[in-house]
Every structure is written in C-alpha cells, then in structure tokens.
Chain A
C-alpha cells in the first residue's frame, strides 16, 4: 500500500514537472497561468504534491470573493484532506495570500493576510499545529493572471498552499 502511494506521488511529481515545462514554454500573458488554474493543479512551486484517495492531486490554490476572506464551501473537502495529510507527516506549509488589483495596495496586503489566516485557522481547527503553518501576504503584488477583467481577478484572489520541508 505504501509503495503504491509512493508511486502515485512520484507520478504526480512527474506530471507537475511536465506541466511546469509546458507553462514555461507558453508565452507570457493571460493564457500562461490562466489555463487550468481553477483547480490549482498546475501551480508548480510545491514539492511532492500529494493526491487524494483517487490519485487526484489535492487543490493547492483556494479562491476568494472580492474584499472577502471567508472560505468558500467548495474548498473545505480539499482542506480537510490537507489537514489529514499534514497530521500524518511532519512537513510545514506556507500559505501565501493574494488579492486582485482592484482597491488600494496596502488594504490588499491586509486582505491577503486575512485570506491566508482564514485557511490557517481552518487547518488549525482540523488539528494541524500552528507552528507548522506560516502565513504571508503579497497583496496585489504577485498576480498570476494579467488581464483587467473578472476572469483574471478571480484567479488572483487566492491563497496558495506550499509545502516547505
């Protein structure tokens, strides 16, 4: 059983690398990070991306409404699985909060932090020790989609979950 999981994890890692390669050859612009990001599966910064019981990678990016830091209902099952995963290993995670370009930069930094903390609090309630969770906000400074439209904004209002050792 352990072997199978390892293979699956290895497969997921390879797919992540392939996706990363595909991403880097895509010309910069709306499409580059836009294609397929709604499930967060092509976010490449994490190492050893994990999978659920069906072998699908867990979501690593969680999206928010404008000027809101409340978790949408559809992200909870993935966060529950992350909590389970984290409770079964010793890795720490970094939660990076982001905002879309609308509104003021400093307010958006605060908003990004609230989003990251909303995810952190949810994981903590699921038993993940606070000391293993780092939060940081980049506000609107690090967009992944560069259009000035709702589709781009929706992709930028996010928290990214990144494994760190």
Chain B
C-alpha cells in the first residue's frame, strides 16, 4: 500500500516534468524488495520567487531510481523540518523512516542559488553530514544530482553516479527507405537531452573518453562509408580518425585515454587495432585472416582487451593480453556471446547472451565462472549494447518495447529496473559517461 502511494506520488512528479524531459522519460518497472526508507523533506524556498526546478524532488527521484531506496511522500510526513533544530526523531520513527534529508534554499548577493542540506540517521539520532552547495539558477539539476551523489556516498559508501551523462543514438525510419539518425547526450536520468549530430546516414557506437570531454563514434556521413570520428563536446571540434576501405567500427578509449581500440577490415577480415591518439600510429592486435574480430573493450588495468570473435564458428568472448598477444576464450555457455564490457572493479564482464532465441544481458563473474542473466525484458527480447555506470551500480542497455527501441537499466545485482523510452524515435546504443572530475556541479 505504502509502495503504491509512493509510486503514484512519484508518477505525479514525473508527469509534471515529462514536458521538460522531451526525448526520454523514466518508467520504473521493478523495484527492490527491501529498500532503505528515506524521507527528503521539501526544502524551504529561497527568497525572491520560485525556482524552475524542484531540487528535493530531483533528489528523491535519483534515490528511488537507484533501486536501493524507498521514498516517503511529503503527504505522509508528520512534520516538515528545514533544519536540525526542527527535527523530531519520533515523527520519523513513527512512519518507518531510516534516514532523513532536510534543506534550505537561499540566494547569495550575486544571485547564485544556495542549498544547505543535512542528512540524519533516524534510529541512531545522528547527523551524518551538513553541507552547502551553490549553483546558478540554470544548473539546479546539476546541484540536485550532486546532492544525491553525496547522500548516496554517505548511505552506501559508494560514490553516487547521478551526475553522470549518457550518450545514445536516436533514429527513425522515414518513407522511401530514408532514415534519420541523431547522436544525443542526456543526463543519466534522461533529462536535458542535447543533439550532438544529425545525419541521414548511420551513426553508431558512441564511446566516452575517460576525460569526459572527448567522445568517439562511427558516422557514415562521408561518402556514405563509415569513419571513426573524434569529437570534443566542449569545443564541438571534430576530427576524422579513420576512413579506410571496409569497416571502421567499435571505437573504445583506453582507461588512460591515450589509445583508441577499434575494428578495421582494411587488411582483409575485421580485426582489432589500437591507435595511439597522439601519433595516430595503428597497431594490429588480432591477426586472424578469416574470422570476425570486433567489439573491443579495455579491461580496467589497460593491459588487455576483451572482444567478440567467431573464430570458433559462433560469436564468443575472448581476451587478449596486449603485451604478449596471448589470447584466451572466456565464454562457453551458449552459441552467441558478444559485446563484452568489463565491470569497473574487474570482477567480471557484462555481455549479450543468446538463450532460447532471446538476446539478454548477462554478467560473467570471473571468480565463479558463472554466467548470470540480468535482463528479463520479455520472452523474445533483443537486448544489446550494455554499458555500466562508473560506480558499477547500474547497467544500461538497449532493448525493445512495443516495437520501439528503448533504453533500460538494471542494477548489477539484477534487482531494480527502469526504462528510458523515446518519444517518437528508437533509442539505442547507450554509453554511460565516466565520473566528471571535479564533479561538474560543485562550484
């Protein structure tokens, strides 16, 4: 009952902000069974008029979306404190609140918005932190996500990833075999989508540099053939890195950002190459002349790559140690395992796994060798393109719902799930950004 009321009030929150979201919207499809109960009390407003964004509502939505927390709706709160002196712990124990967030909004002389936020442990009757944020009115969503990150860190010990972004491709099929593709970037909650590139020819495989500023992707805009592009999101400057005959595919930055793994077929069959980004020197990594080798991804230590190869007859995941060229096969369950992406703690890889004709996202745990299927979209799902939040908490992927491409996210332990459906377009090919360091919003 509680859950249902919570859901309704959250849906109301989302409904009121769908217009602002434009291209993507969030639908929570499955929650955690035993979430920690948190109350985010509406903050006291700043003097001088209402703000364009409701910061405590954004914080609540962030925490809820993580799947770890259940949020007390304001209508159930017995009191609405804004500072420590107004907090009566019994009011919060009475409605089962475990952690309490209160805050005050203000304005400084230059017009910046200030938020002073405190987090309390209700059962221990302890203040966990008291912190002040400031931001221009235009950056209130950044401020809210930064506060969510801080709360998440205090409650879980893990850095929050609410201030991150996602790259994705949105596409639509037009009449007479024409197509429209857009490369987009949005906040990790799907809000504030921005178009980076639009083309009548395919755009795919967007990928972040660990510097959080450069991205690489494949675009067919030149001569209707694929080129790997390097694009600076701050300056808008673009460089064509490769435009060889054949495939120019699957760019992936090394963890230090200095190299780019990619797939080229200029020498015959599709093979993995690594480009040194300062010299543009290309080093061929796989040398099989017959098989498909593709979808390289760097292990976090930068010393080896995992990739997809059909050298054994069907696509499976392999790992190559770059220094020695030594290669091992990693997946043995099933006849289709592809597009692996390492977990940030190197404990395993997420990948696309075919099972009974459906394509699902699974995690291969190195310690046990066990393949655990995470996505259960529907019986005949076509899940692909897994990407992992930089804190390792959530995994996003592309799937379909009612015949349309959508993005879905699932916690790496497989409990919570939310969807990001597009409005009128297929959305696909998500790529989760690294942490932005220093956090963009802590000014």
- B-chain residues with CB within 8 Å of residue A84 when the two chains form the complex: none
- B-chain residues with CB within 8 Å of residue A45 when the two chains form the complex: 177
Shortest Cβ gap from A28 to chain B (Å): 5
Q: Does A111 contact B (CB under 8 A)?
A: yes
- B-chain residues with CB within 8 Å of residue A132 when the two chains form the complex: none
Q: Are B400 and A107 in contact (CB under 8 A)?
A: no
Query: In the complex, which residues 201-230 of chain B have their Cβ closer than 8 Å to any Cβ of chain A?
Result: 202, 204-205, 220, 224-226
Majority SS at the chain B contact face = strand
Q: Are A106 and B250 in contact (CB under 8 A)?
A: yes
Majority SS at the chain A contact face = mixed
| A106, B202: Cα distance in complex, Å | 12
Q: Are B382 and A110 in contact (CB under 8 A)?
A: no
Q: Are A105 and B265 in contact (CB under 8 A)?
A: no
Q: Tally A-B pairs: CB < 8 A.
A: 96
Q: Are B338 and A102 in contact (CB under 8 A)?
A: no
| A45, B178: Cα distance in complex, Å | 12
Q: Are A110 and B359 in contact (CB under 8 A)?
A: no
Shortest Cβ gap from A97 to chain B (Å): 11
Query: In the complex, which residues 86-117 of chain A have their Cβ closer than 8 Å to any Cβ of chain B?
Result: 101-107, 109-111, 113-114
Across the interface, name the chain A residue whose C-beta is closest to B292: A110
- A-chain residues with CB within 8 Å of residue B384 when the two chains form the complex: 103-105
With A110-B247, A110-B263 known to touch, is A103 a contact of B359 (CB < 8 Å)? yes
Q: Are B177 and A113 in contact (CB under 8 A)?
A: no
Q: Does B117 contact A (CB under 8 A)?
A: no
| A58, B61: Cα distance in complex, Å | 59
Q: Are A105 and B204 in contact (CB under 8 A)?
A: yes
With A67-B315, A148-B382 known to touch, is A110 a contact of B177 (CB < 8 Å)? no
| A106, B338: Cα distance in complex, Å | 9
| A101, B202: Cα distance in complex, Å | 14
Q: Does B254 contact A (CB under 8 A)?
A: no
Q: Are B224 and A113 in contact (CB under 8 A)?
A: no
Q: Does A52 contact B (CB under 8 A)?
A: no
Shortest Cβ gap from B379 to chain A (Å): 12
Across the interface, name the chain A residue whose C-beta is closest to B351: A104
Shortest Cβ gap from A143 to chain B (Å): 7
Q: Categorize the interface residue count of chain B.
A: 35 or more
| A23, B224: Cα distance in complex, Å | 23
Q: Does B75 contact A (CB under 8 A)?
A: no
Against A, the Cβ 8 Å flags (1 = close, 0 = not) of B80-124 are: 000000000000000000000000000000000000000000000
| A135, B269: Cα distance in complex, Å | 13
Q: Are A104 and B295 in contact (CB under 8 A)?
A: yes
| A141, B400: Cα distance in complex, Å | 15
Q: Are B295 and A106 in contact (CB under 8 A)?
A: yes
- A-chain residues with CB within 8 Å of residue B205 when the two chains form the complex: 105-106
Q: Are A103 and B336 in contact (CB under 8 A)?
A: yes
Query: In the complex, which residues 233-272 of chain B have their Cβ closer than 8 Å to any Cβ of chain A?
Result: 246-247, 249-250, 263, 265, 270
- Residue among A103, A137, A139, A144 having the largest count of chain B Cβ atoms under 10 Å: A103
Shortest Cβ gap from B72 to chain A (Å): 41
Across the interface, name the chain B residue whose C-beta is closest to A96: B224
Q: Does A138 contact B (CB under 8 A)?
A: yes
Q: Are B315 and A144 in contact (CB under 8 A)?
A: no
Q: Are A142 and B382 in contact (CB under 8 A)?
A: no
Q: Does A124 contact B (CB under 8 A)?
A: no
Q: Are B225 and A136 in contact (CB under 8 A)?
A: yes
Complex A-B: 25 CB contacts under 8 Å: A45-B177, A67-B315, A101-B382, A102-B359, A103-B336, A103-B352, A104-B308, A106-B204, A107-B292, A107-B295, A107-B338, A107-B339, A109-B226, A109-B249, A110-B249, A110-B263, A110-B294, A111-B292, A113-B247, A136-B224, A137-B247, A141-B181, A142-B177, A146-B173, A148-B380
Residues of B participating in the A interface, judged by any CB pair closer than 8 Å: 171, 173-177, 179, 181, 202, 204-205, 220, 224-226, 246-247, 249-250, 263, 265, 270, 292, 294-295, 308, 310, 314-315, 336, 338-339, 352, 354, 359, 380, 382, 384-385, 400, 403, 428-429
Apart from A111-B292, A141-B179, 20 more pairs, CB < 8 Å: A28-B174, A67-B310, A67-B314, A102-B359, A103-B315, A103-B338, A104-B352, A105-B429, A106-B249, A106-B294, A107-B339, A113-B247, A135-B246, A141-B202, A141-B220, A142-B179, A144-B177, A146-B173, A146-B403, A148-B400
State the 7 A-B residue pairs at the shortest beta-carbon distance, nearest first: A141-B202, A110-B292, A104-B339, A110-B270, A106-B250, A104-B338, A106-B295
